[in-house]
Amino acid sequence: MPLSPADSLTDVPAGNASSSPPALRMPAEWEPHESTWIAWPHNKSDWPGKFAAIPFVVAEVVRNLAPAEIVNIIVADAAMERRARLLLRRIGVAGDNLRFHRWATNRIWTRDSGCIFAHAPAGLAGVTFRFNAWAKYADCEHDAQIPALMAAAAGAPAVQPQRAGVPVVLEGGAIDVNGAGTLMATEECLLSEVQQRNAGFSRADYEDVFREFLGAKRVIWLGKGIAGDDTHGHVDDIARFVSSQTVVAAVEPDRSDPNHQPLADNLQRLRSVGSVGGQPLQVVELPMPRPISYQGRRLPASYTNFYLANGLVLVPTFNDANDRVALNLFAELFPDRQVVGIYCGDLVWGFGAIHCMTQQQPKAGL
């Protein structure tokens, strides 16, 4: 049943012993990176009528990332690698920070299909949740192999969360962490009856997994995601940590918009939390862009789908008046980072943006 705002913050008790290494901690996205993982676009059915623009968007993301950190690029084969290298050279991207991995994929959304790297006592661990394509698509056989491949390539022992011998399903976009023991997720994504990720899982089951494999001592449960979200409520389209005690939350003032009430409810829940880690939780409102639709379908355009890299904030933009508001807000929140807008009006036709297509590999030993 839906939680009241007063119930939206949960302390996670110690669970039963498991196969996971001790003291796993998923670092915050703003902590130092070793690299970023992406997959090169190839599935034209994900962007019907718009695919030609998508490699250029991905290349622009790589162009900004490559000077700051290693970019691991997943390609299907040698031919795809040649195409990717050619496009990147044409826009001035080359050098030692590009690493290619020839692995087959179904889609490019490595935030969800890739492994989640966590700090462990001996270095990094690759937490390899099972990926089932958001319980929506049958063609995920290649993407389901990516978590273990990423962990092996990074030299990180793979740790697969299981319950009763069954691998736990989770996507990276379904959670957000502050690196200091607090995690955010939504009821719609993980607890609503329409979801088919982990049959019979309760809120307590998820909280135990979050504690054991990601180091989350507290969980903030928000309600619903935004209209058009193909994942049914990923948190990275509605609210994100930008510091250990600060969250940006999407808001929609137009009462006629279907996002107004769900986002207002989420905002109330965040404000009811009070404190995180002994300090007051600061909630910063972030406007939504105007509704974007294509072929009659509402798309999940949101500025909270930003990505933090070493010295960078990559922010999706949509040729909207609120682009400037969002970019200025991020400049205030991250005065020591370069804020870069990346046009995602075409990319979002595939139901994702910058955060969805990236997965960070943190530096080990920090």
CA angle 192, 356, 343 (to 5 degrees): 125
The residues near 349 (Cβ < 8 Å, ≥ 6 apart) are 47, 48, 50, 294, 299
Q: How far apart are the first and last CA of the chain?
A: 39
DSSP code per residue over 75-137: ESSHHHHHHHHHHHHHTT--STTEEEEE---S-S-HHHHS-EEEEETTEEEEE--B--GGGT-
Beta strand residue intervals within 143-197, DSSP E: 158-159, 162-163, 166-167, 176-177, 182-186
CA angle 345, 31, 60 (to 5 degrees): 30
* Nearest CA among 249, 245, 239 for reference residue 275: 245
Contact (Cβ atoms closer than 8 angstroms) between residue 228 and residue 352: no
User: One of 115, 140, 344, 356 is an active-site residue; which one?
Assistant: 356
Distances (CA, A) of 333 to 15, 36, 282, 323, 326: 36, 22, 12, 15, 11
Within 10 A of 242 (CB to CB), how many other CB atoms are there?
Answer: 23
Question: What is the C-alpha to C-alpha distance for residues 62 and 339, in angstroms, rounded to an integer?
Answer: 15
243, two tokens: 């510091």
140 noted as active-site residue: no
Distances (CA, A) of 294 to 47, 163, 236, 319, 323: 11, 40, 22, 15, 19
* Nearest CA among 29, 26, 118, 123 for reference residue 360: 29
Active-site residues: which are they?
A: 356
